[in-house]
Structure 1
Amino acid sequence: MQNNDPIERFFRSGLKLPHLRILVSLAELGQVTRVAAAFHVTQPAISKQIGEIEEALGVQVVNRVGNALELTGIGQVIVGCGREVLRHIELARRDVSALASGTGGHVRVGAVVTIPEPLVTNSVQLFMRRAPSASLSFAEATLDRLIKMLDDGDLDIALGRNRIATTQKTLRQEVVHREPFVFVVGAHHPLGDLGRQVTWDDLGAARWITPMHGSPAYATLVETLAANDIAVGSGAVESSALALNIALIRSGDFVSILPMSIAKPHAMRGSMRVLPLPPLEPLGEIVAYWRDDSSSPAAKLFSACLREVAGELMNEPGATVRLE
């Protein structure tokens, strides 16, 4: 039986990808002339496509306002869904391209323990999906150890928390993600009361869990504390073991620092408090390191997956977290 509903007929058989691309571009660029330039066609060609969409739907998707076009409510709905459709098509294109290229080999990845778990896990999963014939090994270590492994040719890519000064012309580094590095205490700590105001002065007598002495993270923490007349005193614990640090923080005796992505779930469950103090900005970056004289196709593909996942994490709802 023939369907006489123009809207249903449009979405069943009349909607084409060029329609979505044109409307999404129009939402971003605002003028037909700019959309035409972006698609390397004439302005009448774009206007004709928009007219075809409106004729098929039987409703307006744009309003003419002088030289500009504004999306109607219906147009905005189509654009919102269209962006998602086009994003999934682009992801499919990347997957098919990677599979068709037959990327194989082995990639060796290392990271410090404070790299957010979703960044590593999602990157590995995406890589293995796009290169099922490839293999991957992963190691956790301190940044100085990871850099040495890169130098020795035992790693292809490393992930750390600091940009490093180096004289090596072949070592490259790139910031791939940013997030706050925050001060935390356990819920049973004297500073763990959510209703209590906290200042730097409250940390003067604190017992600390710090990164390992000599690491860039330790230096950043100590410098920040010193700028506020605070010293790491006796009774401190130096540790790069994330599980141990979390257990000690939750015990209620220590103040420490954690990436927000790690601290947030514990704070939401009520076992930790993120203190309302400025985050450690120099530690907010996640940096990828590699040697450009030994980059294999598998390593290049993993780097691309890493950037893609990092971009998705930055854009997902709740990525920006307000400190108390």
Structure 2
Amino acid sequence: MKRKLLTSALVFFAVINLQAQNPIIKHIFTADPSPIVYKDTVFLYTGHDTASVTATNYKMPDWHVFSSTDMVNWKDYGALLSPSTFSWATGDAYAAQCIFRNGKFYWFVSTFHKNDENSKGGAAIGVAVSDSPTGPFKDAIGKALVINEMTKDKPHAWDDIDPTVFVDDDNQGYLFWGNGSCKWVKLKENMIELDGPITVLNPLHYIEGPWVYKRKDLYYLVYASAGTKPEMIEYCTATKPTGPWTYRGIIQDNVPNSFTTHPGIVDYKGKSYFFYHNGVLPTGGSYRRSICVDYMYYNADGTIKKIVQTTKGVAAVK
């Protein structure tokens, strides 16, 4: 009888495992998802956590690229970019986003600037470029696009992290980013130069990790919020990419076993998908995170329904 019960339990456990898709990447720890759709394939750009189980801070040496045509099976192309790609950079590979424009892929990344003649150090945003979604990528301009220098008043200079890039229907590009406050600026068509002054926003509860996109006639600014610890995901909407932005509320509650979360949103083959990270893999945690994906739904007025976090994840796309 004991052997029969044990066998039944193992079979039940195997069935549960087969049904559990989240996290979608299980062989390494990944964070800060950035999905795009290119030629009928979803490409997912991620951070890579390598901190030890007992670590009390991040260790993120590089960025990875994955792809899928069914939203369930993901191919890992390996570490295709790291701070060492940029001669001016040092430190960890924080959140990044890659987009396609004018035949090229522009990968906007956040890391730290070396203390040299160009900067006193601090968080900085760079951009890499490639002719392919899977590289090779190289530094597009040979210097940081945005620099946040450390000073006596700001010894850590975290402001300039977590870039998100959006190109509107009129072909105007925008860069949003920031920790503590949200900043935005127009980009020139070449995607490697700022085109005008930087504007600072203060959405309700905003802390970091913005994601900007347009759906129908509405613009969405989705972000990690500081209303609670751990973080949640909240959002605003606007009728123009420059605002004014109207606060709409919380769409994702705290994630398991991680005090951070990070949104990545994409439409693919008729459905909307919400990517995020948590810390639920064995030995996982706030510095050993894993990317998940669940469905995203909208109300008739364009507002976003609450994200339901699942272990099952999403069904395979035929």
Bigger proportion of residues as helix: 1
Q: Which has the higher contact order (CA 8 A, sep 6+)?
A: 1
Fold in common (TM above 0.5) = no
Tell me the TM-score normalised to structure 1 length: 0.24
Structure exhibiting the larger radius of gyration computed from Cα positions: 1
Question: Relative to total residues, which structure has the larger strand share, 1 or 2?
Answer: 2
